[in-house]
Chain A
Amino acid sequence: MTDITATSAGSAAASPGRTLVGLFGAAGPLIALILLMLVGALMSDSFLGAENLSNVFTRSAIIGIIAVGATFVITAGGLDLSVGSLSALVAGMTIMFMNSAAATLGDGWQLVAAGILFSLAIGAFAGFINGFMIVRGRVEAFIVTLGAMGIFRSVITWLADGGSISLDFSLRDAARPIYYGQVLGIAVPIIVLAVIAVIGELTLRRMRFGRHVAAIGSNRHVAFYSAIPVSRVRILTYVIQGLCVAVATVIYVPRLGAATPSTGLMWELEAIAAVIIGGTALSGGFGRIWGTIVGVLILGFISNILNLTGFVSPYLNGAFQGAIIIIAVLLQRDRAQG
């Protein structure tokens, strides 16, 4: 699936595909992941155990799903900083909805289905508003989503009255399988992530829509002059991002059964970091979902290794993520210039 000839990421350089450097650049994140896993295996005996790996994958699924949406946004030359707060808002509102709808829908699968639809609707709507403000209102994506980040976070804090919003205990059993369930021995979140990643990769790489997303990120004027519906596609990337946040939240809610003002804190950093580590161009024009998934796993394993070894305090996890995102962009820049 690695389209090696497309790695020049919008730069005017000739295709670097067949050169060793180009190949290394394309597979770079994968090599980093393998090296990281070797380090993990050397430092901890339990690292390569099925339980630990499954645990890391499951935990990474939530950020991974959000990061798939972020790959679309960033490939189109946009940015969405509001994903973490949106996730908290969707979680809180969905829990409130389920608690109050339980009287009419009962505590079975109907309620869970209604809850899922409800959160998807909120996610899509919030994404649409973000996209509409950015595209039609012509406000910088950075500003719109920074504002939205503050708004969503403070609304959920207000709804929760500073505390937490909990799913009624009687309902938790119905929602539980979404996070803790398994199909053929594989945790549900991993399956959901895999499905979304495959759909995302095919959409971005093989469908007209994905072509247009990359064209807009590569050069918006060229896209406009090439009869591409630029505004519609740009707004849709934010809607996709909102939907991905909603799906991730649906998986997240049963894990703790509650939403708090700190739900989803710094998820935007992790999601954007995963996208950039995966080789998607921060300035837009080239994106790859499989790279994003590799990026998410790199972040997940770093956190895991910190937890397992106690070599460095896990509290410094955010510092590692922050440093990695800067280094990844630094490497991207050098590649573009070279």
Chain B
Amino acid sequence: MALLTFRDIAKAYGTVPVLKGIDLVVEPGEVLALVGENGAGKSTLMRIAAGLAPPSSGTMLLDGAPAPASLHAAERAGIVMVHQEFCLAPHLTVAENVFLGREITRGLFTDRKAMETRARDLLAELGSAAPVRARLRDLPVSDWQMIELAKAFARQPKLILMDEPTAVLSATEAGNLFARMRAFRAAGGAVIFTSHRLDEVKAIADRVAVLRDGQIVRVERAHDISEDAMAEAMVGRPLAEIYPPRRGAAARKPLLSVAGLTAPGAVEEATLEIREGEVLGISGLVGSGRTELFEALFGLRPAKCASFMLRGEKRRLPAAREAWGLKLAYLTEDRKGKGLLLGKPLAENVALTSGAIAGAAWIDRRAERRGLEAAVGRYDIRTGRLDVTAGALSGGNQQKVLIAKTLGVEPDLVVFDEPTRGVDIGAKQQIYDIIAGLAAAGKAIVVISSEMQEIVGLSDRVLVMRRGRIAGELSGEGITETDIIRFAMGLEEKDPQEEASH
């Protein structure tokens, strides 16, 4: 009998559908891999299975009975989740973390010795020798992952959900984890895991489910599907007609050339050229250093570089406010956290950056109001009244306000970081038109995006990042989703094992 059954599961956040009609069955003694692009719905599906988020509709069965609907009930029923972000207490010891909330007690007191012995065994099963008495904050992040995994196995679950368990592990550590997963499977346990490393998926999974746009598009036995076939299934669909027509390739003048840019811990030795009138797409997995590359370039995070040539003149890396003065603009991916003052009126938001760069000491409210009216017309910001706060608008309209705010300084180079995240299709198309219009007007444009289609649809040239480095460049007709994925996942490299151990 099936261990876990998803039947027509759907999930929407607000009006944005994240999962649509998911039907999936997990058998006991099976390792199931979920693969898909960023935002395809993998993590959401895991969260639903773990009782962290209720589905909007559909049913979920555990051992044929309705599945538990809360995290605690799910844990009692034998489902545990290993999160991508760690859920550990840095100030407690390893042993205390492994048994957090499940302390072994003797009488009134916790039995430290028993917990330490048991934790040591659990870690040894994962091939880890992390010291069980050490405080977590003193240990490296790969140990944290192992402790998180040991914590999950300590619960003696029937089903473990692992979200990107190998993201921070070396090849050897990943190998140890796979050995543990096989032992767990042999004992009748089931695992659902996500990974961006398709070679791992191939190596460890029994079955692979490919998610795209919140739907399962393909389920195969792992040995019946190649890595390339997985990559194709993840993206494989024709480009919709929402992208502006491509402009002809012309010889374009470089606006900014950077060599050997390094931001500690995020970007290594990046060399790139950004040209006038060109849309440069930046692709790569989340965490590959895309955002960090441009934050480093514009003085928003500490970095150094071998050379920085702007409009033909060499200079040092600009500081945070300096970049704006040089007409270099960065439009943040984090609209709510870094982009807009949600509690402040629209006019104030639109005028914020340009005012901070070149505004007079005395605020001209009438001019700000006129600026807002112009922006509303130009970028089609849809709002009933003009005196509402930014937080009152929908995601797409907020994004247009953010664009108006950023373009208010009339930059020559604009970096759009995830310009259409959380934006509906209509607003998306308008944003694409704005981007194409800027490029046509001779501005240098960079688009960072997790949406492969967006990169392919908009870019004249694409840089693919992987682990803080620029892994490859594609241009013109050579820009395909499959090639981007291959660069992003390191499939181009001859020996992924060696690469993984760096």
By a beta-carbon cutoff of 8 Å, the part of chain A in contact with chain B is 5-6, 8-15, 17, 206-209, 211-212, 214-215, 218-219, 221-222, 224-229, 285-286
Contact of B345 among A5, A207, A221 (CB under 8 A): A5
Report whether B387 and A15 are in contact in the complex, using a CB–CB cutoff of 8 Å.
yes
A232 — nearest CB in chain B belongs to which residue? B321
The SS class assigned to the B binding surface is mixed
Stretch at the interface among B110-118, B195-203, B335-343: B335-343
With A215-B344, A225-B332 as contacts: A13 and B356 at CB distance below 8 Å: no
Report whether B356 and A218 are in contact in the complex, using a CB–CB cutoff of 8 Å.
no
Interface hits, B140-165 → A, CB 8 Å = none
Interface hits, B346-383 → A, CB 8 Å = 348, 352-353, 355-357, 359-363, 365
Report whether A218 and B341 are in contact in the complex, using a CB–CB cutoff of 8 Å.
yes
Residues 177-215 of chain B, each 1 if its beta carbon lies under 8 Å from chain A, else 0: 000000000000000000000000000000000000000
Report whether A228 and B356 are in contact in the complex, using a CB–CB cutoff of 8 Å.
yes
8 interchain pairs, CB-CB under 8 A: A10-B341, A12-B343, A12-B389, A206-B365, A215-B344, A219-B338, A226-B352, A227-B357
Q: How far is the CB of B394 from chain A (nearest CB, A)?
A: 12
With A5-B387, A207-B363 as contacts: A219 and B392 at CB distance below 8 Å: no
| B residues near A218, Cβ cutoff 8 Å | 341, 343-344
B295 — nearest CB in chain A belongs to which residue? A225
B329 — nearest CB in chain A belongs to which residue? A227
Report whether A222 and B339 are in contact in the complex, using a CB–CB cutoff of 8 Å.
yes
Q: Complex formed: what's the CA distance from A14 to B356 in Å? A: 25
Q: Which of B352, B353, B362 is the most central at the interface, judged by chain A CB atoms within 10 Å of its CB?
A: B352
| B residues near A227, Cβ cutoff 8 Å | 320-321, 324, 353, 356-357, 409
Residue B391 is within 8 A (CB to CB) of chain A in the complex: yes
Report whether B341 and A228 are in contact in the complex, using a CB–CB cutoff of 8 Å.
no
Q: Complex formed: what's the CA distance from A221 to B339 in Å? A: 8
Contact of A207 among B321, B338, B353, B362 (CB under 8 A): B362
Report whether B342 and A12 are in contact in the complex, using a CB–CB cutoff of 8 Å.
yes
Q: Complex formed: what's the CA distance from A15 to B365 in Å? A: 18
Nearest 10 A-B pairs (CB), nearest first?
Answer: A12-B391, A14-B392, A10-B343, A225-B338, A227-B356, A227-B324, A226-B353, A228-B356, A226-B352, A221-B338
Contact of A209 among B321, B361, B392, B409 (CB under 8 A): B361
Q: Complex formed: what's the CA distance from A226 to B300 in Å? A: 11
Residue B330 is within 8 A (CB to CB) of chain A in the complex: yes
Q: How far is the CB of B155 from chain A (nearest CB, A)?
A: 36
Contact of B363 among A13, A206, A285 (CB under 8 A): A206
19 new A-B contacts at CB < 8 Å, known A12-B389, A14-B391, A226-B356 = A6-B345, A8-B389, A10-B342, A11-B343, A13-B389, A14-B389, A14-B392, A17-B387, A207-B362, A207-B363, A208-B363, A211-B348, A218-B344, A225-B338, A227-B320, A227-B356, A227-B357, A228-B352, A229-B356
| B residues near A10, Cβ cutoff 8 Å | 341-344
Q: How far is the CB of A286 from chain B (nearest CB, A)?
A: 7
Q: Complex formed: what's the CA distance from A5 to B388 in Å? A: 8
With A6-B345, A207-B362, A211-B363 as contacts: A219 and B337 at CB distance below 8 Å: yes
Residue B405 is within 8 A (CB to CB) of chain A in the complex: yes
Q: Complex formed: what's the CA distance from A229 to B405 in Å? A: 17
Q: Complex formed: what's the CA distance from A226 to B362 in Å? A: 18
Q: Complex formed: what's the CA distance from A225 to B338 in Å? A: 6
A202 — nearest CB in chain B belongs to which residue? B362
Q: Complex formed: what's the CA distance from A15 to B388 in Å? A: 5
Q: How far is the CB of A22 from chain B (nearest CB, A)?
A: 12
A210 — nearest CB in chain B belongs to which residue? B363
| A residues near B321, Cβ cutoff 8 Å | 227, 229
Q: Which of A14, A227, A229, A285 is the most central at the interface, judged by chain B CB atoms within 10 Å of its CB?
A: A227
Q: Complex formed: what's the CA distance from A320 to B405 in Å? A: 46
Q: How far is the CB of B411 from chain A (nearest CB, A)?
A: 11
A216 — nearest CB in chain B belongs to which residue? B341
Residues 293-324 of chain B, each 1 if its beta carbon lies under 8 Å from chain A, else 0: 00000001000000000000000000011001
| A residues near B361, Cβ cutoff 8 Å | 207-209
Report whether A212 and B356 are in contact in the complex, using a CB–CB cutoff of 8 Å.
yes
Q: How far is the CB of A215 from chain B (nearest CB, A)?
A: 6
| B residues near A221, Cβ cutoff 8 Å | 334, 337-338
| A residues near B334, Cβ cutoff 8 Å | 221
| B residues near A14, Cβ cutoff 8 Å | 388-389, 391-392
| B residues near A225, Cβ cutoff 8 Å | 300, 330, 332, 338-339
Q: How far is the CB of A338 from chain B (nearest CB, A)?
A: 14
| A residues near B344, Cβ cutoff 8 Å | 6, 10, 214-215, 218
Report whether A222 and B343 are in contact in the complex, using a CB–CB cutoff of 8 Å.
no
| B residues near A226, Cβ cutoff 8 Å | 352-353, 356, 405
Q: Complex formed: what's the CA distance from A229 to B320 in Å? A: 9
Q: How far is the CB of A12 from chain B (nearest CB, A)?
A: 4
Contact of A15 among B341, B345, B360, B363 (CB under 8 A): B345
Q: Which of B321, B332, B389, B391 is the most central at the interface, judged by chain A CB atoms within 10 Å of its CB?
A: B389
| A residues near B392, Cβ cutoff 8 Å | 13-15
Q: How far is the CB of B432 from chain A (nearest CB, A)?
A: 23
B409 — nearest CB in chain A belongs to which residue? A227
Report whether B343 and A286 are in contact in the complex, using a CB–CB cutoff of 8 Å.
yes
| B residues near A212, Cβ cutoff 8 Å | 356
Q: How far is the CB of A95 from chain B (nearest CB, A)?
A: 36
Report whether B337 and A208 are in contact in the complex, using a CB–CB cutoff of 8 Å.
no
Contact of B337 among A5, A13, A222, A229 (CB under 8 A): A222
Q: Complex formed: what's the CA distance from A15 to B390 in Å? A: 9
Q: Complex formed: what's the CA distance from A17 to B392 in Å? A: 13
With A6-B345, A208-B362, A285-B343 as contacts: A222 and B338 at CB distance below 8 Å: yes
| A residues near B355, Cβ cutoff 8 Å | 208, 211
Report whether B389 and A15 are in contact in the complex, using a CB–CB cutoff of 8 Å.
yes
Residues 403-421 of chain B, each 1 if its beta carbon lies under 8 Å from chain A, else 0: 0010001000000000000
